[in-house]
Amino acid sequence: MQVSGDSMEGAGIFTGDYVVIDKSVETKPGHIVVAVLNGEMTLKRFEKRAGQYLLTSTNPRKYKPIELNEDNPPEIWGVVVGVVRKCV
């Protein structure tokens, strides 16, 4: 999947990079995941804080955490297991 956006730059994932996704890996807190929210795909870190599940950016000054609950359930599409960057 090709990345578009700057929300995961702190993890070394930039616009134009390709992420390698494994759908068979069980999602655990700390993993970077591709999630579908409100019909749109997003690349975020899956976290658990004080019993609350969140999707967080590694660019927190620009993006707030997304709280996950019954009213805002994500579909976790897969876990990022690698990044590929084209060298010019």
Positions annotated as catalytic residues are 7, 44
What are the backbone angles phi and psi of residue 43, rounded to the nearest 5°?
Answer: -110, 115
Answer for the pair 39, 1: CB distance below 8 angstroms, yes or no: no
Cα dihedral 8→83→5→64 (10° resolution): -20
Distance CA 52, CA 6 (A): 24
